[in-house]
Amino acid sequence: MATQTRAMPGPFSGLSVKIIATIIVVILAVEVVIYLPSAANFRQSWLNDRLRVGTVAAHVLDAVPDAMNLPRTLTDRLLNSAGALAIVYRREGQSQLLALDNVELPREAVTVDMRQRDPATLIMGVLDTLLFGSNRTLRIVGEENGQPDRVIEVLMPEAPLRADLLVYSRNLFFLSLILAIITSAVLYVFVSRILIAPIRRLTANMVDFSEAPENPGLIMAPSDRQDEIGVMERGLATMETDLYSMLRQRRHLADLGLAVAKINHDLRNTLTSAQLLSDQVANVDDPKVQRLAPRLVQSIDKAIGFAQSVLDYGRQSATPPRPVPVDLHLLLDEAAFDAGLVGHPSIRWRNGVPDAVSISADPDQFARIFDNLFKNAREALEAANGKIEEPYVEVVFDETPDWLVLTVSDNGPGLPPRARENLFVAFEGSAKAGGTGLGLAIARELTEAHGGRLNYVDQPLGTRFDVTLPHAIRIA
Ligand SMILES: Nc1ncnc2c1ncn2[C@@H]1O[C@H](COP(=O)(O)OP(=O)(O)OP(=O)(O)O)[C@@H](O)[C@H]1O
Ligand SMILES: [Mg+2]
């Protein structure tokens, strides 16, 4: 448990930190987009204020009959209140100039025409002021009350505008930052209660359960939430319950299998003793005994064969193949011999594998694949009771750059429908009296253990199985 808790991310790592960081970045990014137009607005009204004060000053001038002889101190005060170096008022072709005393007017000034109000110009104005506005002089040009024939010009340094714009920007930045922090803090609490905490609960449960899936106490207890988290909790609980019962069932089956294997083993030994006795009984001269003994011997042989094949099936799935170089032609001949094909009175055996083909395979397991296929073919041909002309079993060898293909076919009666339905399914596939239904299941498992495939290929006549093996197992 301790290691799992350590494996979980802490409260400030993992999902929640990612969420908070994303929110702060997004809010700041949005603020940048909002900032430019609002700063443009601020600059515009700042300039308008100056222009308005300039207009008032111009009107004062206008109202005085002898403007040229106004006292200098009054003129200077008027100009200072507008923060201006000079004011020009143009009206009906006339123009009046009001300038600070003892100040030389700069030769160059940047014109800001308040009559141009398109957003791009306004935003460019902000950037222009912030970047280059520390030492320049502005010439603000505007109309009085929207009358085109009354134009006011105010000449003033740009530095105060820039300073005010900087203060405005700084305030806006801090305001956004505070907003971002508050928003993300609120969201953090919200998200961690609604999302992170349940997800952590789910994750912790998954980790715990995967460590000990046989412990039913670790199965998730879902809450009654109706959202996606609730669905996830219930899904996890169902999955864990299924897994738990599957594991339990498997353990029971494994125990059962072991018990069956033990019983089967002892049964085979008992049958072997019975076989010895029945062999002796067969030697008794009594004619009745002579008549019954062969059947007794046959039944016991069959029972031993059955016990043996069940034992083999259990054993072969446990041992992986141990490959060594094997001569394929020879190995198939031996398998055919074991299956009773070599020297058979009626069935012809044809081995189509060329002489010098060597592969890397487990000789016993590999031979059992063909042993089972050949035995099935022989049994089918024998069961046809001589109704088939020139019965044969053959293997044809073929190879592609990727595969070796061994086709095993016979000209027997073909697969009965019952066998087709459960082909390759252990204990299920048999369609003949005394068959265990293990032969093909074993053959397929052993082929797959060698990296290959065993397939039934439907044909109009006889039966055909293809053993397809990766070309890599060929060594000569
Ligand atoms: N070459 C074949 N021709 C006709 N039928 C076949 C052939 N091969 C297999 N079968 C059918 O497929 C069934 C399944 O074969 P499989 O080898 O799996 O089991 P089995 O031969 O019945 O029993 P076991 O091999 O375990 O003793 C057989 O019962 C048989 O009916
Ligand atoms: Mg068989």
> What does the angle CA 224 – CA 9 – CA 24 come to, to the nearest 5 degrees?
90
Residue 3: the pLDDT is 43
Q: Could you tell me if the CB of 436 is within 6 A of ligand 1?
A: yes
Provide the pLDDT confidence category of residue 318 given band limits of 50, 70 and 90: low
Q: Could you tell me if the CB of 152 is within 6 A of ligand 1?
A: no
The closest-lying atom of ligand 1 relative to the alpha carbon of residue 416 is: 31
**C-alpha to C-alpha distance for 400 and 396, rounded to whole angstroms:** 14
Q: Could you tell me if the CB of 454 is within 6 A of ligand 1?
A: no
Interval 307-321 mean pLDDT: 74
Interval 297-308 mean pLDDT: 82
Instruction: Name the CATH code of domain 320-473 (choices 3.30.565.10, 3.30.360.10, 3.40.50.1000, 1.10.287.810).
Output: 3.30.565.10
Which of the 8 DSSP states describes residue 300?
H
Contacts for 172-180 with beta carbons within 8 Å, 24 or more apart? 172/31, 172/35, 172/38, 172/39, 173/31, 176/27, 176/28, 176/31, 176/35, 177/28, 179/27, 179/31, 180/23, 180/24, 180/27, 180/28, 180/31
Residue 5: the pLDDT is 44
Q: Could you tell me if the CB of 372 is within 6 A of ligand 1?
A: yes
The closest-lying atom of ligand 1 relative to the alpha carbon of residue 306 is: 27
Tell me the pLDDT tens digit for each residue of 76-91.
887 887 788 888 888 8
Residue scoring higher pLDDT (264 or 442): 442
Which residue(s) pair with 110 in the sheet?
Answer: 138
Q: Could you tell me if the CB of 86 is within 6 A of ligand 1?
A: no
* The pLDDT of residue 1 is above 50: no
Q: How far is the CA of 323 from the centre of ligand 2 (A)?
A: 25
Residue 14: the pLDDT is 67
The structure tokens listed for 335 are 């398998």
In which element (H, E) is residue 452 found? none
The closest-lying atom of ligand 1 relative to the alpha carbon of residue 309 is: 26
Tell me the pLDDT tens digit for each residue of 116-166.
889 999 999 999 999 998 889 999 999 887 888 889 999 999 999 999 999
pTM: 0.51
Q: Near ion ligand 2, which residues have CB within 5 Å?
A: 376, 439
Q: Domain limits of the chain?
A: 9-182, 228-313, 320-473
> What does the angle CA 15 – CA 16 – CA 20 come to, to the nearest 5 degrees?
120
Closest Cα to atom 28 of ligand 1: 430
Which residue(s) pair with 247 in the sheet?
Answer: none
Nearest to 116 by CA among 170, 168, 61, 40: 40
Interval 364-369 mean pLDDT: 92
Q: How far is the CA of 376 from the centre of ligand 1 (A)?
A: 5
Contact 217, 247 (CB under 8 A): no
The closest-lying atom of ligand 1 relative to the alpha carbon of residue 305 is: 27
Q: How far is the CA of 401 from the centre of ligand 2 (A)?
A: 32
The structure tokens listed for 463 are 């039966």
User: Which ligand is closest in space to the CA of residue 384?
Assistant: 1
* The pLDDT of residue 2 is above 50: no
Residue 276: the pLDDT is 86
Tell me the pLDDT tens digit for each residue of 187-240.
888 888 888 888 889 999 999 999 988 888 999 999 898 999 999 999 999 999
Provide the pLDDT confidence category of residue 378 given band limits of 50, 70 and 90: very high
* The pLDDT of residue 51 is above 70: yes
Closest Cα to atom 1 of ligand 1: 377
**C-alpha to C-alpha distance for 273 and 335, rounded to whole angstroms:** 28
Q: Could you tell me if the CB of 53 is within 6 A of ligand 1?
A: no
Residue scoring higher pLDDT (271 or 167): 167
Residue 4: the pLDDT is 44
Closest Cα to atom 17 of ligand 1: 439
The structure tokens listed for 204 are 């912790």
HSE-up of residue 123 (Cα within 13 Å, Cβ side): 10
Amino acid symbol at 367? A
The closest-lying atom of ligand 1 relative to the alpha carbon of residue 381 is: 3
Closest Cα to atom 8 of ligand 1: 376
Q: Could you tell me if the CB of 409 is within 6 A of ligand 1?
A: no
Q: Could you tell me if the CB of 40 is within 6 A of ligand 1?
A: no
Query: What is the overall mean pLDDT for the chain?
Result: 87
* The pLDDT of residue 267 is above 90: no
Q: How far is the CA of 439 from the centre of ligand 1 (A)?
A: 7
Helix ranges (DSSP H) in 72-118: 72-81
Residue 285: the pLDDT is 87
